[in-house]
Structure 1
Amino acid sequence: MRDDEWLAQRFEENRARMRAVAYRMLGSAAEADDAVQEAWLRLSRTDTSDLHNLGGWLTTVVSRVALDMLRSRTSRREDPLDDGDRGAATVDAAAPDPEGEAMLADAVGPALLVVLDSLAPAERLAFVLHDLFAMPFDEIAVILERTPAATRQLASRARRRVQGARTASPDPVRQRLVVDAFLAASRNGQFDDLLALLDPEVVLQADQRAVENAAAARAQGAPPLERLIHGAAAVAGTFSGRAQGARPALVDGVPAAAVGVGGALRAVFRFTFDGDHITAIEIVGEPDRLAAMDVTVLR
């Protein structure tokens, strides 16, 4: 067997583990595949004659690639916000990726991914590699370029947040599903579906900039956005056919929605939940308020 064939075979033997590490780091099946592909490119350019633990080396490489991707994502505030797919959204497009959902359910349960999204990149890597893949802190510390003691503290802090989220109420995954359903119903003008998601006494509040932005973008025949709207029927009527550019997001760690224009954050929808119902919606458009929020757009 030629050396390149042997190397490719060994790589394939480690692919599943690398993809699992990358997926839990990145929360995206497509990005996990990209990270694994990058690991292969780096392996193909590396002299492997002195590698005694190829599996460990590959795990380290894919972890570093995923960490760089996470840090890049954080620096650009997650995915660029734009209106390029305006009008093309459907219920299926708003739903979580089936392959990703299956992987997550098989591994650690659906709530964990939402919690991991709220962790800093270094915390996430330390927790994933140690708690989920049993990698020693000494090895993780090399990837993070920190001391083992500091790496242990990162994992401990992440573990407390994960455990707290698992036991706390409400359930962020349940809230995310409510937001997804709300956005899908809004985009597709499904008034009855919106009504079913809203508490009868729901209150919608919008700041002045959000009202002005909505007026500028209002389609012909659509009702105007007002500063204060009360009641499920009125709120459902306001949103029916709207939210075309809104995407699911985490705002300060809570499921929400975000709207962007030309790559800039334009508005945030913050929700208050009671079980599977929305009891309040706040639309924030003031730039100073938006800048103070931690907004992560979800795929």
Structure 2
Amino acid sequence: MSARNPTDKEQPMTPNTQTSPAPQKTILITGCSSGIGAFCAQALKQRGWRVFATARKAEDLAYLREQGFEAFYLDYCEPETIAAVAEAVLNACHHQLDALFNNGAYAQPGAVEDLPMEALRLQFEANFFGWQDLTQRLIPAMRARKQGRLVHCSSILGLVPMKWRGAYVSSKFALEGLMLVQRMELEGSGLTVSMIEPGPITSKFAINAAAFAQKYIDMEASVHRQDYQRQFAKLQGGGTKSSVKLGPDAVFEVLLHALESDRPRPHYPVTRPAKLGILAKRLLPSRWLYKMLSDQS
């Protein structure tokens, strides 16, 4: 081996330009058994996100796990399951959770005068109180990192009313109010809040609503019996039959913007009926607006 020439100049060290891969983004999505939740969970997983998914039925949880998801039982009407999921997910990702997508919900049909208080309370537990409980449990970890995306799947019915949907409409109106106030309160924290407001989307939502109508509404004894017969048949048939009804991929498109954009929006209306409903609310006198909506119910 030749000796090093002492007159040789020291060669500068080449800097290591290889960067570490970006940490995997993490998200908790509720209501992943079918429809919007299932589609968005799969699409984000394919995009490289680490997805924590929830469902209520054992067979749905088993299927999610077979698909490679970390799946947990969650029922918004059971506070202990909300606490357990929040703790398990935060521990699994070492409190590095990037996003929450509150999605699991259902609709309780029925005229307001026919709604049993039990049904109305359960609607709010599932669509409002449970969402707030889960959100509240995850915010401290996001605050500590000064970043986080809170996305809630609301509805166009959180902005405009619809006959026979009083329980669902009121839960979504309440959700819009609470979470938009929270968006203002979180300004400067690094956390953002976005509301997705779909119109008609292809899913099992209407069929599930028919089951709740049967369970809690005495349709035969109601003065609205004939209207119920028409509405119930529509629900059992899958709800709105229209070319403007979109698939869950339309929701995923705006969810992705809410999660990955530098400037996520507060509102993401989805489908033409939802956008037209918002426009009509802005432009029409209230009397005309409610008459139009009532005629379309």
> Per residue, is there more helix in 1 or in 2?
1
The two structures have a TM-score, normalised by structure 1, of 0.30
* Structure whose alpha-carbon radius of gyration is higher: 2
